[in-house]
């Protein structure tokens, strides 16, 4: 579990990394159709609500909740959407184009299978939710009172929740070379710049995620709370191991220093069981000390990278 001093790395060229990205990855886009459960009040309703506060309606923002989203079947529908987003993000790399991420070309068929399966689960969950729809509307009528408007409610929820995915072309169309060589060249440069940025975004995302995982585990292992060792969940270790697997799968070998840090973290926690950390103060201290050395290097990497290149996961 020893941590060696990192020598200044010989960085691989960004262009070679972006070329690997272009040759081994493909673009994906995932989108949702989702019935909105919030509706803005009409101007008259806002004016009426504002009167009780002696305020002007035009300076008041007010919405009504159409359905109880805490309903177990509604939560099940939202859970499938969260699973779909998680699968997409966990198996892909960021790309500097809204709504687009990159997955490995050899994972396309597997990704298709995952998405088809989750789409089926979504449809099943919506079918069950629709069985509760009448009672949900009745409850909304009771809770909303005069604000209830039957026109806000479709006859059924079937078809109002869905997911779609596609593989958009982000390369320059070949015909453009014949139509206008100058525009074609400019587009080639633009696409190359996007892939160069995608390399930076991937590095930044990996660095920030690893930093967060290492920081959390180190904080749990170091010090004490009420005279006892701080409590930590097994996921503090399992999440790190999942990160190692994902990094190995998606790593484009663009940064030797990052590769080395990931390798060192993996060696530090290799074979370490959560219960062993709970039982042994010596092991906790040793792991915490070595992870702290890695954390200092990660902190320097985070400081050195422009903030705009850091992509944070949605909460």
Q: What is the pLDDT of residues 77-136, one digit of tens each?
A: 999 999 999 999 999 999 999 999 999 999 999 999 999 999 999 999 999 999 999 999
Confidence band for 307, pLDDT divided at 50, 70 and 90: very low
CA atoms within 13 A on the CB side of 188: 11
Task: Round to whole Å and give the CA distance between 11 and 256.
Answer: 6
pLDDT confidence of residue 3: 41
Tell me: do 210 and 240 sit in the same domain: yes
pLDDT confidence of residue 312: 42
* Structural domains in the chain (count): 2
End-to-end CA distance of the chain: 33
Structure tokens at 104: 């490995």
Tell me: do 73 and 115 sit in the same domain: yes
pLDDT confidence of residue 145: 93
Structure tokens at 172: 């320059």
Structure tokens at 110: 């597997």
Task: State mean pLDDT over 158-178.
Answer: 95
Asked whether residue 20 is domain-assigned, the answer is no
pLDDT confidence of residue 220: 87
Helices (H), 222-280: 235-250, 256-269, 274-279
144 with 49: CB under 8 angstroms?
no
Q: Which of 55-64, 262-271, 278-287, 290-299 has the lowest mean pLDDT?
A: 55-64
Asked whether residue 6 is domain-assigned, the answer is no
Q: How far is CA 217 from the centre of its chain?
A: 21
Tell me: do 158 and 38 sit in the same domain: yes
216 with 236: CB under 8 angstroms?
yes
Which residue, of 115, 134, 166, is where some domain finishes?
166
191 with 172: CB under 8 angstroms?
yes
136 with 71: CB under 8 angstroms?
yes
By three-state DSSP, how is residue 198 classified?
helix
Structure tokens at 53: 């506060």
In order of 16, 17, 195, 227, 259, the CA distances from 255 in angstroms are: 11, 9, 15, 42, 6
Query: Which residues on adjacent β-strands are paired with residue 25?
Result: 104
Asked whether residue 11 is domain-assigned, the answer is no
pLDDT surpassing 50 at residue 6: no
pTM: 0.82
Task: State mean pLDDT over 219-246.
Answer: 82
Spatial CA neighbour of 247 closest among 213, 289, 295, 277: 213
Task: Name residues whose C-beta falls within 8 Å of residue 13's C-beta, 6 or more positions apart in sequence.
Answer: none
Asked whether residue 232 is domain-assigned, the answer is yes
pLDDT surpassing 90 at residue 250: yes
95: domain range? 27-166
pLDDT confidence of residue 5: 40
Tell me: do 85 and 106 sit in the same domain: yes
Task: State mean pLDDT over 191-199.
Answer: 95
Tell me: do 224 and 245 sit in the same domain: yes
Query: What is the average pLDDT value for the chain, to the nearest integer?
Result: 88
pLDDT confidence of residue 51: 80
pLDDT surpassing 90 at residue 12: no
Structure tokens at 309: 């290149």
Tell me: do 299 and 239 sit in the same domain: yes
Tell me: do 33 and 151 sit in the same domain: yes
Task: State mean pLDDT over 171-177.
Answer: 93
Rg (CA), the chain: 25
pLDDT confidence of residue 84: 97
Give the whole-number percent of the chain exceeding pLDDT 90. Answer: 70
Helices (H), 94-180: 108-144, 175-179
Asked whether residue 216 is domain-assigned, the answer is yes
Which residue, of 139, 166, 193, is where some domain finishes?
166
């Amino acid at each position: 579990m020893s941590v060696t001093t990192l020598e200044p790395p010989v960085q691989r060229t960004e262009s070679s990394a972006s070329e690997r990205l272009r040759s081994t990855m493909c673009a994906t886009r995932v989108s949702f159709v989702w019935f909105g459960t919030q509706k803005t009040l009409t101007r008259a309703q806002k004016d009426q609500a504002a009167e009780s506060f002696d305020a002007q309606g035009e300076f008041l923002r007010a919405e009504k909740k159409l359905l109880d989203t805490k309903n177990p079947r509604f939560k099940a529908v939202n859970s499938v959407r969260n699973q779909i987003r998680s699968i997409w993000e966990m198996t892909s790399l960021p790309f500097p184009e809204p709504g687009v991420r990159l997955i490995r070309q050899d994972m396309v068929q597997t990704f298709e299978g995952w998405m088809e399966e989750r789409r089926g689960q979504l449809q099943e969950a919506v079918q069950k939710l629709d069985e509760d729809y009448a009672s949900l509307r009745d409850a909304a009528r009771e809770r909303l009172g005069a604000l209830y408007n039957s026109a806000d409610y479709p006859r059924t929820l079937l078809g109002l929740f869905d997911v779609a995915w596609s593989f958009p072309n982000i390369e320059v169309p070949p015909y453009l070379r014949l139509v206008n060589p100058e525009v074609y060249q400019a587009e080639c440069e633009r696409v190359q710049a996007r892939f160069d940025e995608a390399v930076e975004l991937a590095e930044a995302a990996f660095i920030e995620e690893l930093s967060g995982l290492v920081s959390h585990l180190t904080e749990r292992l170091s010090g004490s709370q009420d005279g006892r060792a701080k409590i930590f969940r097994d996921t503090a270790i399992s999440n790190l191991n999942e990160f190692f697997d994902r990094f190995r799968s998606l790593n484009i070998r663009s940064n030797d220093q990052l590769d080395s840090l990931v390798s060192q973290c993996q060696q530090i926690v290799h074979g370490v069981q959560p219960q062993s950390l709970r039982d042994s103060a010596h092991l906790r201290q040793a792991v915490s000390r070595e992870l702290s050395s890695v954390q200092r290097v990660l902190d320097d990497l985070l400081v050195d990278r422009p903030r705009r290149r850091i992509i944070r996961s949605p909460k």
